[in-house]
Chains A and B, each alone.
Chain A
Amino acid sequence: MRKRLPASLLVAAAFLFVSSSLSAHHGNAAYDGRTVTVKGTVTAWVWTNPHTFLKFDAKDEKGNVVHWLGEWNAPSTLVNFGITAKSFKAGEDVTVTMTGMSKTGQPVGRVTKVVLPDGQELSMGSER
């Protein structure tokens, strides 16, 4: 039987430095165009205007816990893409893809996709 590592220990799985244009909805001057995928554990799902936030913890290469902050669109937009106030629970292991990372190197990015423990993907598809 294959030994599985807890998802929270799988750190910053892929740093894909993909250039892309941001067409974000609220304040994108602080973000660059990188795409980063991180596996972590949800600590909070903040369903607020003007934007929502997915807070999650992941460990870096040295094993230190990093508190990530994923900013996503407004509730009134996300609900049309099957993403609701109940989509995430604290303690869930998730894989978060962010396109647009903090220019200052902070663990902050704009969410484009989240994969849930059961494999379901939550995203806005090709829209931003």
Chain B
Amino acid sequence: MFKGYKSAAVLVALIAFSPVTHAQTTERRESGKNIHRDGWDRVVPAAPKDQKSEPAPVRDLTGIWEPTPGYRDGVFATGPKEYPSDGKPEHELPFTPLGLKTWKEHKPGFGTTAVPIAQNNDPFDICDPIGFPRLQLFNLRAIQIFQTKSQVAVIYQNDQVWRNIWMDGRELPKEILEPRWYGYSVGKWTDDYTFVVETVGLDERTWIDNVGRPHSDALKVTETWHRVNHDILELTMTIDDPKMYTKPWNPLNKFRMRLQPEWFDIREMICSASEAQEYNKTIAEQAIAEKNAGKKK
């Protein structure tokens, strides 16, 4: 029996002082390589190169999902994947005159219309709610999907918010009494692996993406969540806002997300008002210098 205790003690000591354990707890750790970690600092397995997978379960999106093949593939700092703001003709949006005017009034930090931080008027930079659809068109990182008979709920790493998508048979509201940052959403299965969501009633103060594309109260967003197999979910989005755009456009087209292990903890990524204030204070000297430099020109 004593021998057993002794063996256990040796084992505990070996674990406690093993290089692997030390690497997890030390303040110094290997750098320069992309080793993805979840919110509890656990190493997340890399996506396999072979995309083969078990068949998808029927009418089921539950699970924790991240963009793939790179977990940062959904950052979209310069605009959504299919329509980045890069000046290329194929990425020009079909603006109405009002749409173009409104876009020019927006002063983003990125894209062809980017301005220095002192002139920026991005509402998310002061921690206004990021809103929908920007929630999925900028910093689309980990999400977790829950389902009941009545709804699909999605929680997002991005700003730690959630949406409720009703599938209890209700229709979209005919009249919007109260616009919401994340709108009013209903969804339905169009086949066993495809869930289509429509959202209206979106607050006009939000931007569609990180480069300031505008929307009006007429915006309707359609999402198609298609579960390709057990491990892969594809997201397609359609922006339909006749006041701002002459025709609908797709910011994302079959954008892929991968199912993560059940133990994956979604990291906090929250716009904190005090941190935003600190950020602005920290760069204030630079911003003032920029303004002064601008006056001298």
Interface residues of A (CB under 8 A from B): 23-30, 46, 48-51, 53, 69, 71, 74, 76-77, 79-84, 86-87, 102-106, 108, 116, 118, 120-125, 127
Contacts and interface: CB of A to CB of B under 8 A. Distances in A.
B31 A121 contact: yes
Contacts of B276: 49-50
B286 A108 contact: yes
- Majority DSSP secondary structure for residues of A touching B: loop
Interface residues of B, number: 43
Contacts of A28: 109-110, 114
B114 A127 contact: no
B172 interface: no
A102 B287 CA distance: 10
Interface stretch (B12-20, B47-55, B224-232, B277-285): B277-285
A69 B27 contact: no
B36 interface: yes
Contact of B72 (A30, A77, A103, A106): A77
Interface of B: 27-37, 41, 71-72, 75, 77, 109-110, 114-117, 120, 125, 141, 157, 267-272, 275-276, 278-279, 282-283, 285-286, 289-290, 293
Contact of A102 (B267, B271, B286): B286
Nearest to B278: A48
Nearest to B272: A49
B270 A49 contact: yes
A90 B75 CA distance: 31
A51 to B, nearest CB: 7
B48 to A, nearest CB: 18
B289 A106 contact: yes
A82 B35 contact: yes
A116 to B, nearest CB: 8
A120 B269 CA distance: 28
A125 B279 contact: no
Given A24-B77, A86-B27, A80 B35 contact: yes
A14 to B, nearest CB: 20
20 contacts: A26-B109, A48-B272, A48-B279, A49-B269, A50-B271, A79-B267, A80-B36, A81-B35, A82-B29, A82-B31, A86-B27, A102-B289, A103-B116, A104-B286, A104-B289, A104-B290, A106-B286, A121-B31, A123-B32, A127-B34
B87 to A, nearest CB: 14
Nearest to B141: A76
A74 B139 CA distance: 11
Contacts of B27: 84, 86-87
A122 B29 CA distance: 9
